[in-house]
Amino acid sequence: MRTLRRAVGMPIGLPAPAWLVRLGAPLVMRTDPELALYGRYVVSKRLEAEGFAFRFPRLDAALADLLGASPRRA
């Protein structure tokens, strides 16, 4: 979330209790609340083995591309 806030220029983020995320995610975002509540770090070994290279291996660069900005550093 810190990286996303930096990318959009939001200086602070208010905490959201889990019950609010569980309520709001399906209603507002139409997504599974578990995506927001539990982090996942996943690396595809098969893609690596096949020689695939991600265009944006880091989140800050991917968000900058999506938002049309240059990545900001902390």
The pLDDT of residue 38 is 86
Taking the whole predicted model, whether its pTM rises above 0.75 is answered as no
6: which residues sit within 8 A by CB, 6+ positions away?
A: 60, 72, 74
54: tokens are 């991600």
pLDDT digits (tens, 9 = 90+) for 15-70: 889 999 999 989 988 888 888 888 777 888 999 899 999 899 899 999 999 998 76
pLDDT digits (tens, 9 = 90+) for 14-26: 888 999 999 998 9
Phi, psi for residue 24 in degrees, rounded to 5: -80, -35
